Amino acid sequence: MPADRTGTPGTGPQGTGTPAVETSGLVKAFGDNRAVDGIDLRVPAGSVYGVLGPNGAGKTTAVKVLATLLRPDGGQAQVFGHDVVGEAEAVRARVSLTGQYASVDEDLTGTENLVLLARLLGHSKPAARKRADQLLEAFGLADAARRQVKQYSGGMRRRIDIAASILNTPDLLFLDEPTTGLDPRSRNQVWDIVRAVVAQGTTVLLTTQYLDEADQLAGRIAVIDHGRVIAEGTPGQLKSSVGAGSVHLRLRDAGQREEARKVLSQSLAAQVQPGSDPVALTARVPGDGTESGAAEQAARALAELTRSGVAVDHFSLGQPSLDEVFLALTDHPAHDPEQDAGHDSTHEAARDGNRDAAHDGNRAAAPAEERTR
Ligand SMILES: Nc1ncnc2c1ncn2[C@@H]1O[C@H](COP(=O)(O)OP(=O)(O)OP(=O)(O)O)[C@@H](O)[C@H]1O
Ligand SMILES: [Mg+2]
């Protein structure tokens, strides 16, 4: 842990006593719309903290308040102990924000953008050039370095924007949906960069609609919906809140489904969901908080089925995904293509068959990202 590496406890970015972010009852309203509706957050210094929520949940609004770009309408927020309203300058000195939408100069090349910004930050010409080259290389943009940013794809623009915000290593970096629209390879590059930035002592507050991204990167996650925190904890805690896993099985004979359902629900002491496919069944494994516990329960359930003469073609145990956590918490999927398409506030239309979209979120969201530019 970098927690004690530098600084004075209580004031320094790595100080053990002072969280990077602390809010209580934070509110930001746009007219009648309470985009942030009483958020309590505590982000420990030196970690990646994930703020996970669907379109319109209030992620960008919350980040803007914390980065002093918007004034809160209620509650309190401190960044490294500094009030975002009363000590906005001190907050600004420590944070950097990579916004959801690219803000670099389109007419300049990748290198020109980064060198210019680095010069504005006070780097010497050679140091600026060196840092720019380093970041362009790290972000897979070396080949595009001499091209104007307006010729970049959406994903490339996102990467250059992130690079621009870490020219100087900030104490707290806000990354607002940093990988939306990136292809899987670029996304992995960004994840690696986030990990590297954190290893150097920067705290990262990352917003995302992608559960696997929060799971991959964040030590703790706040799930927000309609401007409120509806769950908070480690990825493991959030997952265990919906059970230890799910078993999926396919029967040889649809006629045995009722018998199989009975045996399973007795063995697992859990609800069993019949799938739309007449030979499929899914059941939550309540578990005892450990993976081996879930595996043992699943194995016992399978043994019971065999003993009862139920012929099983396929049996598998899966970890609960954060998608399942989100569904369990909010009753709607975390990623909602209907909403992306129309920014419609109803979730009903997209509820069915939408989980795969959440798993493959970046691709699904790419058109939305392009459209908003
Ligand atoms: N400048 C603004 N003026 C009026 N309403 C706004 C403004 N910015 C955001 N809102 C509203 O506040 C709510 C939260 O929006 P916000 O952009 O914070 O959500 P988000 O979680 O970042 O969503 P997304 O995943 O789509 O980026 C939405 O209802 C949005 O329409
Ligand atoms: Mg947003």
The Å distance, Cα 60 to ligand 1 centre, comes to 7
Residue found by looking up tokens 């239309």 in the block = 349
Per-residue pLDDT of the chain (373 residues; tens, 9 = 90+): 333 333 333 444 444 579 999 999 999 999 999 999 999 999 999 999 999 998 899 999 999 999 999 999 999 999 999 999 999 999 999 999 987 665 789 999 999 999 999 998 899 999 999 999 999 998 889 999 999 999 998 778 878 888 898 888 899 999 999 888 778 887 887 888 889 889 989 999 999 988 889 989 999 999 999 999 999 999 888 877 777 778 889 999 999 999 999 999 999 888 787 777 899 998 888 766 666 678 888 999 999 999 999 999 999 988 766 666 777 777 766 655 444 443 333 333 332 333 333 333 332 222 233 323 2
Q: Indicate which atom in ligand 1 lies nearest the CA of residue 57.
A: 21
Pocket test residue of 26, 27, 28, 30 for ligand 1, highest count of atoms within 8 A of CB: 30
Residue found by looking up tokens 């980040």 in the block = 63
pLDDT for 253 equals 94
For 18, 179, 202, the CA distances from 82, given in Å and listed in that order, are 10, 29, 17
Q: Indicate which atom in ligand 1 lies nearest the CA of residue 227.
A: 14
pLDDT for 16 equals 56
Nearest CA to ligand 1 atom 25: 55
Please list all protein residues whose beta carbon sits less than 5 angstroms from ligand 2, which is an ion.
59-60, 100
The ligand whose atoms approach the alpha carbon of 55 most closely is 1
> How far apart are alpha carbons 103 and 158 in whole angstroms?
9
pLDDT for 335 equals 57
Pocket test residue of 28, 37, 51, 60 for ligand 1, highest count of atoms within 8 A of CB: 60
* Structural domains of the chain ordered from first start: 13-238+345-372 (3.40.50.300), 243-319 (3.30.70.790)
Q: What is the pTM of this model?
A: 0.73
Question: Taking a C-beta distance cutoff of 8 angstroms, is the pair 322, 279 a contact?
Answer: no
How far is C-alpha 319 from the geometric centre of its chain's CA atoms? 18
Nearest CA to ligand 1 atom 9: 61
pLDDT for 254 equals 93
The Å distance, Cα 320 to ligand 1 centre, comes to 29
For 151, 157, 162, 320, the CA distances from 107, given in Å and listed in that order, are 9, 12, 18, 46
pLDDT for 328 equals 74
Nearest CA to ligand 1 atom 2: 30
The Å distance, Cα 60 to ligand 2 centre, comes to 4
The Å distance, Cα 177 to ligand 1 centre, comes to 13
Pocket test residue of 27, 28, 32, 33 for ligand 1, highest count of atoms within 8 A of CB: 33
Pocket test residue of 59, 61, 175, 371 for ligand 1, highest count of atoms within 8 A of CB: 61
pLDDT for 286 equals 78
The Å distance, Cα 57 to ligand 1 centre, comes to 7
Around ligand 1, the residues with Cβ closer than 6 Å are 30, 33, 35, 53, 55-61, 100, 209
pLDDT for 101 equals 60
The Å distance, Cα 55 to ligand 2 centre, comes to 7
